[in-house]
Structure 1
Amino acid sequence: RAVHGLAQLEILCKQLYETTDTAVRHQAEKALVEFTNSPDCLSKCQLLLERGSSSYSQLLAATCLSKLVSRTSNPLPLEQRIDIRNYVLNYLATRPKLAAFVTQALIQLYARITKLGWFDCQKDDYVFRNVIADVTRFLQDSVEHCIIGVTILSQLTNEINQADTTHPLTKHRKIASSFRDSSLFDIFTLSCNLLKQASGKNLNLNDESQHGLLMQLLKLSYNCLNYDFIGTSTDESSDDLCTVQIPTSWRSAFLDSSTLQLFFNLYHSIPPSLSPLVLSCLVQIASVRRSLFNNAERAKFLSHLVDGVKRILANPQCLPDPNNYHEFCRLLARLKSNYQLGELVKVENYPEVIRLIANFTVTSLQHWEFAPNSVHYLLSLWQRLAASVPYVKATEPHLLETYTPEVTKAYITSRLESVHVILRDGLEDPLDDAGLVQQQLDQLSTIGRCEYEKTCALLVQLFDQAAQTYQELLQSTNSSAADITVQEGRLTWLVYIIGAVIGGRVSFASTDEQDAMDGELVCRVLQLMNLTDSRLAQAGNERLELAMLSFFEQFRKIYIGDQVQKSSKVNTTFLLEKKSVSAVSIKPVQTWNQNCIKHPVKALLCLID
């Protein structure tokens, strides 16, 4: 009867995972649910593992056992759970070449039993806590066994770090805290030691098993560093602000520069398929809480970190890989989110490093289509650097007056140049992603106000050129619709950017001269609005109109709202302005500054009225 039952179960498994017939799959699912709830499920799962002839039946057994050990009502006795744990370890040790999904399911089963039984005692012994001892025999055997042992530790760390909906959050945090205090540092140390051993050998990374071992070791290291040490459960949307709350008991691992050096050395010695994992670990290490060090220790740690970044920038062979590039951009952002500009400028190689970072940023912005989701991290770095300039007390030069204008120029010109390429190649237009555009403009608003004279001069030059070309195209009878669309796209970006840099006035102590520069930019946008309004009856451009709305929102916030300073030159001189913008047309570039570019607040108020 048992054999007949197993044969039937295997048929059901095959139907569940292989059939393309929906009705057959539904019937198989229904029958397997009944099996999972049957009283003899536990014994039949063992028979499936021992005597089953297919990987699917082994997967079913592992999945059913995970459900049995996880149930909150009528839980399995402690002795049975210990037996299952021991059986799973022996099963994995004697069958290292199982199908990957079966091995993963069995490791998940072990992790689940261990987590839920973390506080269970037998004869005053916490029987599920000897996790390193559980995997020692795997680590001392073949490469395949070693992969299994490392994966067990990695999956266990991840399992304990993740809360689930079937058990109370308080129980989860109690287990997670105990695991952190009793086992996590030992696991991280073991992982680093195994990585050092691996990097010291002539690994053949073309060998699938050796490649897999190194990948699992890096995943284990990352899971340790990415652990939720204090129960904050930060989400990924705020990861650029994240601080890794390493326990004080881990200090030795980070005071020893060999830990940091290990990962930088690995980055340069392994293939691009693995190096993103190394960079992910370095991102976490760079985010270690400041209070783990005293001032001298932090300066030394930062120096080693900056040296490693410099080495990557000086040898960028792996950065064309999109995953490497993305993680490296995250690493650069952490340099400023976790350290002060005053600390960075004191690093010995700071002048060379800031030059390399600026060049990397400019190149990245110019190749905007390569990795658009990574630009956020580069702009975040420069935004924080620029915002810190007024507060730097160190005597060492920060050199940002040299490099922030280069970054600003690269962003602006690259967005303008992208318009033609997007239209020509039919690419997705970033202007259609309002959230992305607003995020980048918020960052640029601070960067652009640093050395604002250069930013304003660039915007005036580019806007005048674009506006004059646009007017000429509209007046010409031979203009193509595509040429007009390109110029409208370029003007859309410029209007967005002008609104952003005006909105950035709140980040800096503004002067009368800078207010006058704002006036020059504002008047140009208002003149353009006259021209676009005059064309609304024939044709309109929705993106350009949305850019205008964004501009006016920034202008209102800075110069018209209730909190505006009464001493603002823009507000004290507009009363002298006699012309209404409605009377001003787009004029040739050489005549704009003569008659039209004055502080335009009265003109704006006339429009509002």
Structure 2
Amino acid sequence: MEMADDLQSIRSLEMLCKQMYESRDAALCVEAEKALVSFQNSNTPDTLSKCQMLLERADSHYSQLLATTTITKLLSRTPLTLNLDQRIQIRNYILNYLATRPKLPSFVVQALVLLFAKITKQGWFDGEKDSFAFRNVVSDISVFLQGMNVEHCMIGVQLLSQLTTEMNTVADVESHRAVLKHRKVASSFRDTQLFEIFRMSCQMLRSANDNRKNLNFTDETQHGFMSRCLQLAQNCLTYDFIGTTCDESSDDICTVQIPTGWRPAFLEQSTLTLFFDLYHSLPPSLSSLALSCLVQLASVRRSLFSTTERAKFLSHLVNGVKDILLNPQGLADSNNYHEFCRLLARLKSNYQLGELVMVDSYQETVGLIAKFTVESLQVYQCAPNSFHYLLSFWQRMVASVPYVKAAEPHLLETYTPEVTKAYISSRIESVTLIVRDGLDDPLDDFTNVQQQLEQLSVIGRCHYQKTCSLIAQLFDQSATTYQEIIASPSASIYDLKIQEGRLTWLVYLIGAAIGGRVTFNSNDDGDAMDGEMACKVLQLMTFSDSRLPQGGYEKLEHSFLFFFEQFRKIYIGDQVPKNSKVYRRLHDVLGISEEHMVLSIFMRKIITNLKFWCSSNTVIQKTLALLNDLSVGFSSVRKLVKLDEIQFLLNNHTSEHFPLLGNTFSVKDMRHRSSFYTSLGRLLMIDLLEDEDKFDNFMIPLTASVESIGALLATVNGVNDSSVYSNIEAKKALIGLIRDLRGLAFSFNTKTSFMLLFEWLYPSYTPILLRSMELWYADPEITTPLLKLYAELALNRSQRLQVDVSSPNGILLFREASKVVCTYGNNILNLDVQQDMMYKKKLKGISICFSMLKAALCGNYVNFGVFKLYGDDTLENALNIFVKLLLSIPLSDLMVS
């Protein structure tokens, strides 16, 4: 009877699998999926036997997949429900199952292979004494590799490949103890099995390469076998040998820490030769994997070789690169192209220029690389990710020039100007294609463009005169044409966009060229050329700003701000000689003789942008970033404060002059107001000292705003007065005020300035903020910035809250913050919030409350004994609210909060 029930249950599972994967009825698929998930999550004793019956019956490939994935889940449960004997039986059963069914669908094979890898890793240290039950992997899997059947060989390679990957993988959710166990297992596998697996992969690849005439890569099985062999070799070479996996973002500088015991395989030139031969002999669908292995081989740690051995290994690498460039047909494939660019970058990152020039074929090879780079840069739509590696190669080559002591010529003065010219020309010429054909504009991805410009800034400094001459020539042509188009009433928008795009690129290039001065040997001639190019940008900006009332080109504004930032870093500050030729040239052309005159231009540009570009979120953001850099990074900031433009900012920060401070912006964009007032606060502090009149004058616009809001709230009859609650203008005015005050609170990091702000706020205006919390407690657009304001006020930044013992300000501040927290907490506890809005409307505010409490407790500026001494219940009420808030958070959301 029991067996009949089991059989019926198995048939039911098989039917559910067919319904889930084959049925066209969506509702039936969903119901089947729920039932199968329930089966997988069940923890009944007969689950394992049912999975084995599903595999034995093999009614469908989907039922085989279900059984395999279910067993995999059984292995991942904590505590583990399968004993050692059961796991050994499962492992042996999988190997036998794969051996007797070599033609299973790939998704079933992959699931079985993954199960084998996981169960092997999990039981790596299981066994008695020196007899480990799961460590005979190479001998067990070699049975698959010894037969003549290609399907069996492919399964064997797949088993080894997946096992290597699994041993090298740390799950994101694993605990610290599990991570330590992983490292122990991975190290043991590396020391006992990995080298043998790598040698086996090379032997299979070498055998296949020797018999390539008999291989038919159009045959799916033979193609798959070669692909898996190459993947196995790559998995071995990309293994995390020392437990410090490189971040993918630092891919170009990652070193392969090959163990010393692997030296014989790398001293034999046959290993490098094998993969170069495979690249040349395999079709593009496979040759990219061979190149990927070569990338790793080029990154092998230098200390693995002696000086002589390293030179020999490098020579073989360079010759291999040269042969690829002499027969470049394979590089037409995008994957091959990308991996080859990575190979070039790794070649330079792992070897010094002084070593490269000693290679016999260096001069021919570097010429071929230059030609390859120029041709690549001329193809506009070539992958930008590959550009990165090409430019990285030349950047590192040029940066190494000052350290080369070898007598052999490096020829970079010959080839880098060609690379620079190709990049600049291709970027300028691409604008026409972008405008004409509606192609994607690379300027839309500023992160990628900025990375390329940083690389070009170093490359272009080699033979800098040629770089500047080319940029100046192109700039003059475009600027002249641009002015002619503007002056012509019959000019087309098409032509205008082309010139604006070209000038944008040229301003970016000038900024990058100037920024490259810090990373390369500089001289007076270079400074003079920088001055010449700076004049062109400032003249163009003056002309462009004159047209802003009629409209402007946003990307051009971005390039101006980039130029300002680069010029500021290099040529503004006490470290810049007063007689620098950059200022001589600026004086000769524009009458600008000192840095404060340049700063005046910067500030006028900032004011202009804040006035005319209020509709552009990105321009405002970058403009405020520049203002922030000037207020923080400028060493002689007192000179900056004396500028008329700065005084205009400090005395006229109203919506009349700066639309940013009005209520026309969206609530989301109002966050820029905090950045604006942070910079203003820093500038105000320079000469503020204890001048209350100066502070009060500065606060006049904010005083008017808070009093206007206070007058409006005074008319509210009750807490739920909908007329005010739904008043959008009042809400925006309040949010703007709160963000303004937070910006000032952040910048006032001295005791004197902070006390001026606190005494302005308390006791006159804190009741208005408290009343706002009472009215809008359910609106996170108000509560979040308001709580952040109090959290900032409570933060003892730079010891600004170390008040005298006789001063009650610390207690007063804590009392006001507690009132706001209690008002928020008492109301939010009773607020019914949907799950998808839980973080925004509840958890975020609660987390800010706790950060406020932490700031108060760690700030050491409140004498909590005073509350107890005078019977003040502020502290008790606040702590009660914090306890209630903590208990109200679901356990699943506690870490989020």
TM-score (norm 1): 0.94
**Aligned counterpart in structure 1 of residue 183 of structure 2, from 173, 176, 185:** 173
1:161 aligns with 2:173: no
Alpha-carbon separation, structure 2, partners of 1:355 and 1:574: 37
Task: Give 1:529-548 correspondences, 5 Å limit.
Answer: 529-548=541-560
Query: Match of 1:594?
Result: none
Asked whether the equivalents of residues 51 and 71 of structure 2 are also in contact (C-alpha less than 8 Å), the reply is yes
2:521 maps to a residue whose letter is A
Aligned length: 591
How far the C-alpha of 1:600 sits from its partner, in A, is: 8.3
Alpha-carbon separation, structure 1, partners of 2:503 and 2:261: 56
Name which of structure 1's ranges 65-74 and 139-148 shifts more when overlaid on structure 2: 65-74
How far the C-alpha of 1:568 sits from its partner, in A, is: 3.0
How far the C-alpha of 1:378 sits from its partner, in A, is: 0.3
Asked whether the equivalents of residues 58 and 102 of structure 1 are also in contact (C-alpha less than 8 Å), the reply is yes
Asked whether the equivalents of residues 532 and 586 of structure 2 are also in contact (C-alpha less than 8 Å), the reply is no
Task: Give 1:180-579 correspondences, 5 Å limit.
Answer: 180-201=190-211, 202=213, 203-566=215-578, 568-571=580-583, 573=584, 577=588, 579=590
How far the C-alpha of 1:44 sits from its partner, in A, is: 0.4
Q: Deviations over 1:263-292 (max 9, x none)?
A: 000000010010110011000000001111
**Aligned counterpart in structure 2 of residue 25 of structure 1, from 24, 29, 32:** 29
Alpha-carbon separation, structure 2, partners of 1:123 and 1:500: 64
Alpha-carbon separation, structure 1, partners of 2:533 and 2:66: 67
How far the C-alpha of 1:371 sits from its partner, in A, is: 2.1
Q: 1:59 to 1:562 in 2, by over 3 A?
A: farther
Asked whether the equivalents of residues 529 and 582 of structure 2 are also in contact (C-alpha less than 8 Å), the reply is no
Alpha-carbon separation, structure 2, partners of 1:249 and 1:259: 15
2:161 maps to a residue whose letter is S
Alpha-carbon separation, structure 2, partners of 1:200 and 1:94: 30
How far the C-alpha of 1:70 sits from its partner, in A, is: 2.3
How far the C-alpha of 1:557 sits from its partner, in A, is: 0.6
The runs of 5 or more residues in structure 1 that have no matched partner are: 582-598
SS at match of 1:537: helix
Q: 1:565 to 1:299 in 2, by over 3 A?
A: farther
Alpha-carbon separation, structure 1, partners of 2:590 and 2:528: 17
Query: Match of 1:586?
Result: none
Q: Deviations over 1:310-367 (max 9, x none)?
A: 0000001111111110011000111111000000000000000000000000000000
Q: Deviations over 1:250-272 (max 9, x none)?
A: 01111110000000000000100
Asked whether the equivalents of residues 574 and 601 of structure 1 are also in contact (C-alpha less than 8 Å), the reply is no
Query: Match of 1:52?
Result: 58
Asked whether the equivalents of residues 535 and 589 of structure 2 are also in contact (C-alpha less than 8 Å), the reply is no
SS at match of 1:482: helix
Asked whether the equivalents of residues 502 and 558 of structure 1 are also in contact (C-alpha less than 8 Å), the reply is yes
**Aligned counterpart in structure 1 of residue 159 of structure 2, from 152, 156, 173:** 152
Query: Match of 2:598?
Result: 604
Asked whether the equivalents of residues 147 and 212 of structure 1 are also in contact (C-alpha less than 8 Å), the reply is yes
2:263 maps to a residue whose letter is R
Alpha-carbon separation, structure 1, partners of 2:586 and 2:511: 23
Query: Match of 2:101?
Result: 95
Q: Deviations over 1:79-99 (max 9, x none)?
A: 110000000000000000011
Alpha-carbon separation, structure 2, partners of 1:538 and 1:330: 47
Q: Deviations over 1:454-506 (max 9, x none)?
A: 11111111111111111111112221011011000000000000000100000
Asked whether the equivalents of residues 218 and 278 of structure 1 are also in contact (C-alpha less than 8 Å), the reply is yes
Alpha-carbon separation, structure 2, partners of 1:440 and 1:40: 60
SS at match of 1:148: helix
Q: 1:369 to 1:578 in 2, by over 3 A?
A: closer
Alpha-carbon separation, structure 2, partners of 1:576 and 1:176: 65
Name which of structure 1's ranges 471-480 and 485-494 shifts more when overlaid on structure 2: 471-480
Query: Match of 1:121?
Result: 127
Query: Match of 1:12?
Result: 16
The RMSD of aligned alpha carbons is 1.6
Q: 1:44 to 1:576 in 2, by over 3 A?
A: closer
Alpha-carbon separation, structure 1, partners of 2:191 and 2:586: 68
How far the C-alpha of 1:123 sits from its partner, in A, is: 6.2
TM-score (norm 2): 0.65
1:310 maps to a residue whose letter is K
SS at match of 2:285: coil
How far the C-alpha of 1:5 sits from its partner, in A, is: 1.4
SS at match of 2:457: helix
SS at match of 1:119: coil
2:536 maps to a residue whose letter is R
Asked whether the equivalents of residues 244 and 287 of structure 1 are also in contact (C-alpha less than 8 Å), the reply is yes
How far the C-alpha of 1:567 sits from its partner, in A, is: 5.7
Query: Match of 1:64?
Result: 70
Asked whether the equivalents of residues 531 and 581 of structure 2 are also in contact (C-alpha less than 8 Å), the reply is no
Alpha-carbon separation, structure 1, partners of 2:208 and 2:312: 27
Alpha-carbon separation, structure 2, partners of 1:577 and 1:349: 49
Asked whether the equivalents of residues 13 and 56 of structure 1 are also in contact (C-alpha less than 8 Å), the reply is yes
Alpha-carbon separation, structure 2, partners of 1:359 and 1:500: 24
SS at match of 1:282: helix
How far the C-alpha of 1:215 sits from its partner, in A, is: 0.5
Query: Match of 2:836?
Result: none
How far the C-alpha of 1:39 sits from its partner, in A, is: 2.3
SS at match of 1:479: coil
Q: 1:120 to 1:473 in 2, by over 3 A?
A: same
How far the C-alpha of 1:22 sits from its partner, in A, is: 4.3
How far the C-alpha of 1:69 sits from its partner, in A, is: 1.9
Q: Identity percentage over the alignment? A: 65
Q: Deviations over 1:536-568 (max 9, x none)?
A: 111200000100000000001100134435563
1:161 maps to a residue whose letter is N
Alpha-carbon separation, structure 1, partners of 2:478 and 2:494: 15
Q: 1:427 to 1:16 in 2, by over 3 A?
A: same
Alpha-carbon separation, structure 1, partners of 2:573 and 2:324: 47
Alpha-carbon separation, structure 2, partners of 1:294 and 1:20: 65
Alpha-carbon separation, structure 2, partners of 1:282 and 1:175: 27
Alpha-carbon separation, structure 1, partners of 2:566 and 2:49: 69
How far the C-alpha of 1:575 sits from its partner, in A, is: 9.1
1:50 maps to a residue whose letter is E
2:15 maps to a residue whose letter is I
1:188 maps to a residue whose letter is F
Alpha-carbon separation, structure 2, partners of 1:69 and 1:212: 29
Q: 1:535 to 1:255 in 2, by over 3 A?
A: same
Q: 1:399 to 1:303 in 2, by over 3 A?
A: same
Please tell me whether Structure 1 or Structure 2 has the larger radius of gyration of its CA atoms.
2
